Amino acid sequence: MLTDVSSILKIQGAKLELDSEVGLSGAEFLGERYSFTKPLRLTGEIYNNGQSLTLAAHAAGRIETQCARCLKPIEADVDFDIHELLSRAEDGADEDGDIILFDGHEVDLDDIVTDNFLMNISGKYLCRDDCRGLCPVCGHDLNEGDCGCDSEYVDPRWQALKDILDRRDDGNGE
């Protein structure tokens, strides 16, 4: 979603209220896939602090992902605060590297919200707190009962799969 900030760019202290829905397609992080089942509600403001723009907002919504232990599809509520500094690229005032630069007079909030969502993932999502996960040997869902395997043994095929996933994560860095 592009937000026009031209009305506050030149006026110190000027403020733009935010109350909108941000439609995000989804994100992948550390091998976990997150989809947004509906737009995130974004409320807050962008204001001119004299040197740059400050984005102070709150995002809330719902995601679809999978249980980190048993891989069952689950939905979870998400709720996080966003605090970022924004500056026009042509003003080039990014000495510390922690200011988000934008072109012209429009800020694309989608990427900012997605990045903040990924920074705010609170550990792993589970289908329930005491999820027993999958048997590392045969893949049986241990929530449905024991399978009788010796769980100390890790099947080399599962290890190979894990290696592939680890490698794929390495290639995802930006």
Residue 169: phi and psi, rounded to 5, are -60, -40
The SS3 of residue 163 is helix
Which secondary-structure segment (H or E) carries 61?
strand 53-66
Q: Which stretch binds Zn ion (CB under 5 A): 30-38, 91-99, 138-146, 155-163?
A: 138-146
Compare residues 33 and 83 and give the one whose CB is closer to Zn ion. 33
> Of residues 14, 76, 85, 131, which one binds Zn ion by CB under 5 A?
131
Q: Quote the least distance from Cβ 6 to Zn ion, whole Å.
A: 48
The SS3 of residue 90 is helix
> Of residues 137, 141, 155, 169, which one binds Zn ion by CB under 5 A?
137
The SS3 of residue 158 is helix
Binding characters for Zn ion, 139-158, by CB under 5 A (x = yes): -x------x-x---------
Which secondary-structure segment (H or E) carries 116?
helix 109-119
Q: Which of residues 50-89 bind Zn ion (CB under 5 A)?
A: 67, 69-70
